[in-house]
Amino acid sequence: MQHHRVRADERAVLDDTALEMDEVADDAVVPDDRRQLGGAVHDRAVLDRRPRTDLDPAVVTAKHCLWPDRGVGTDGDISDHGRVGMHERIGMDLGCDVAEGIDGHEPDGTLCRVLDAASFDAHASAIAGDGYTIVEDAIEPDLVDALGESLDQLEARYQVVPADNSFEGSRTVRLYNLLALDEIYERVPVHENVLPVVERVLDPGCLVSSLSSIAILPGETAQPIHADDQLIPLDKPHAPTVCNSMWALTDFTDANGATRLVPGSHRSDRSPEYGAPYDSIPAEMQKGSVLIWHGSLWHGGGANRTDARRVGIAMNYCAGFIRQQENQQLGIPHDVAARFSPRLRQLCGYGIYRGLIGHINKRDPAELLGQAPSGEPMLFDAT
Ligand SMILES: O=C(O)CCC(=O)C(=O)O
């Protein structure tokens, strides 16, 4: 079974206004066989950000900026996967003068790497069909690293140890309620390469159900296959009420405990039998990628047969009409929730679903935090 993959950088359809052929000057050190680059750009080709050897994120991020850095070597071509070839050094001039307001670019010319609507649609239909999708390279490398560092610190500060039960594992370290623990996690639920997929699977009124970390340590055995919605007493199959995601903070491999999936099982008329063996595939993905799945999909953490940790963040969403797994309104201190962005506050439950569910005396719960109400009319008042 092939994973359905739409790369975040497939958004990098470069615009003629940003990149002109003549910007690759004649005296730039670009191998002749790469001269076709400009033509490809004019054809609105997709550039691949991944170099063959050098994983330096600065190079990766900047390399689509076609300001040739003259006088550098000729080594290090960008891997092109049959799409377009370019010389690695062409993109080394960060902060080049790219016209402002070009969709998908930061003012310094670097690529935002935001997927477009068609890619989000493709991911959502992969979830409808297979039960899951992987958004490769979805997360900025600096955010991935910052999250990993934060988890290391929190695990040390709280001296987190495995829960030692069959579900959470005996060699797995988990931290829950992350939004209450460090500001960095505020970037997770709202991530622009993930949330739009979830909004298509559930709807824009979806909520944060839980936000936790899962570090599978060497020697851990496979978690029992389960479905995240198996406690919800609805006949299956049903429309998604849960949509979960796993952010890879390390590479996820078959050997180190990549999440195991039973493709298509979200269409089953039942949930798996706890502890029973099932054929499954590993959701292998590189650090910075995100696995997103339908809450009915049968899955579980894999066994870690390596000597290194497999670290992920489980960003779990639910529909706006069901109860969140972690109680966000009580679990996150009000002064912390008050500083959240309006969208994050809504996702945490400080909002009203379809003009009705979650109101307090017909008022928006955001007002509890001293925030302006969303302004959405109450359903009753529209009758
Ligand atoms: O760690 C994983 O890959 C999956 C964990 C999981 O599904 C869970 O704990 O509910």
Domain ranges of the chain: 7-113, 117-319
Rounded to an integer, the average pLDDT of 72-99 is 30
Write down the architecture of domain 117-319 according to CATH: Sandwich (2.60)
344-357 residue pLDDT tens: 999 999 999 999 99
* Burial of residue 244 (number of CB atoms within 10 Å: 0-12, 13-18, 19+): buried
DSSP per residue, 287-320:
TT-EEEEETT-EEEPPP--SSS-EEEEEEEEE-T
Q: How far is the centre of ligand 1, averaged over its atoms, from the C-alpha of 83 (Å)?
A: 35
Question: Over pLDDT 90: what percentage of the chain?
Answer: 67
Please tell me the residue having the least CA distance from ligand 1 atom 4: 301
Note the pLDDT of residue 114.
83
Is the pLDDT at 76 greater than 50? The verdict is: no
Q: How far is the centre of ligand 1, averaged over its atoms, from the C-alpha of 164 (Å)?
A: 15
- Residue 260, SS3 per DSSP: strand
Rounded to an integer, the average pLDDT of 306-312 is 98
Q: How far is the centre of ligand 1, averaged over its atoms, from the C-alpha of 176 (Å)?
A: 13
What mean pLDDT, rounded, does the chain reach? Answer: 78
Nearest atom (ligand 1) to Cα of 228: 10
Rounded to an integer, the average pLDDT of 119-129 is 97
Q: How far is the centre of ligand 1, averaged over its atoms, from the C-alpha of 343 (Å)?
A: 26
Q: How far is the centre of ligand 1, averaged over its atoms, from the C-alpha of 285 (Å)?
A: 15
Rounded to an integer, the average pLDDT of 53-81 is 31
* Burial of residue 13 (number of CB atoms within 10 Å: 0-12, 13-18, 19+): middle
Rounded to an integer, the average pLDDT of 127-131 is 98
Is the pLDDT at 323 greater than 70? The verdict is: yes
- Residue 218, SS3 per DSSP: coil
Q: Pocket around ligand 1: residues whose beta carbon is below 6 Å from it?
A: 214, 223, 246, 259, 299-301, 312
Note the pLDDT of residue 153.
98
Note the pLDDT of residue 304.
98
Which residues face 172 on adjacent strands? 216
Please tell me the residue having the least CA distance from ligand 1 atom 1: 301
Q: How far is the centre of ligand 1, averaged over its atoms, from the C-alpha of 300 (Å)?
A: 5
Nearest atom (ligand 1) to Cα of 214: 1
Is the pLDDT at 383 greater than 50? The verdict is: yes
Rounded to an integer, the average pLDDT of 150-162 is 98
Note the pLDDT of residue 112.
54
| Window from 32-41, 243-252, 307-316, 369-378 with minimum mean pLDDT | 32-41
Rounded to an integer, the average pLDDT of 76-99 is 30
Please tell me the residue having the least CA distance from ligand 1 atom 7: 300
Nearest atom (ligand 1) to Cα of 167: 9
Q: How far is the centre of ligand 1, averaged over its atoms, from the C-alpha of 251 (Å)?
A: 15
* Cα dihedral sign, 113-114-115-120: positive
Is the pLDDT at 104 greater than 50? The verdict is: no
Note the pLDDT of residue 375.
81
Nearest atom (ligand 1) to Cα of 260: 3
Note the pLDDT of residue 198.
98
Rounded to an integer, the average pLDDT of 103-128 is 76
Is the pLDDT at 302 greater than 70? The verdict is: yes
Note the pLDDT of residue 372.
86
Confidence of residue 382 (pLDDT cuts 50, 70, 90): confident
Please tell me the residue having the least CA distance from ligand 1 atom 8: 300
Rounded to an integer, the average pLDDT of 300-309 is 98
Is the pLDDT at 279 greater than 80? The verdict is: yes
Confidence of residue 69 (pLDDT cuts 50, 70, 90): very low
Q: How far is the centre of ligand 1, averaged over its atoms, from the C-alpha of 51 (Å)?
A: 31
166-194 residue pLDDT tens: 999 999 999 999 999 999 999 999 999 99
Nearest atom (ligand 1) to Cα of 283: 3
Please tell me the residue having the least CA distance from ligand 1 atom 5: 301
5-53 residue pLDDT tens: 434 443 333 333 333 333 333 333 333 333 333 322 322 223 333 333 3
Nearest atom (ligand 1) to Cα of 168: 9
Residue of 211, 217, 259, 291 to mutate, ligand 1, most atoms within 8 A of C-beta: 259
361-377 residue pLDDT tens: 999 999 988 988 888 88
Rounded to an integer, the average pLDDT of 80-90 is 31
| Window from 50-59, 143-152, 153-162, 260-269 with minimum mean pLDDT | 50-59
- Rounded to whole angstroms, the Cα distance separating 274 from 59 reads 46
- Rounded to whole angstroms, the Cα distance separating 238 from 225 reads 19
Confidence of residue 83 (pLDDT cuts 50, 70, 90): very low
Confidence of residue 131 (pLDDT cuts 50, 70, 90): very high
**Contact (CB, 8 A) for 293 and 131:** yes
Nearest atom (ligand 1) to Cα of 312: 1
Q: pLDDT: is 275 or 79 the higher one?
A: 275
Q: How far is the centre of ligand 1, averaged over its atoms, from the C-alpha of 254 (Å)?
A: 14
Q: What angle do CA 28, 33, 36 make, to 5 degrees?
A: 80
Note the pLDDT of residue 374.
80
Q: How far is the centre of ligand 1, averaged over its atoms, from the C-alpha of 259 (Å)?
A: 7
Nearest atom (ligand 1) to Cα of 216: 1
Nearest atom (ligand 1) to Cα of 172: 1
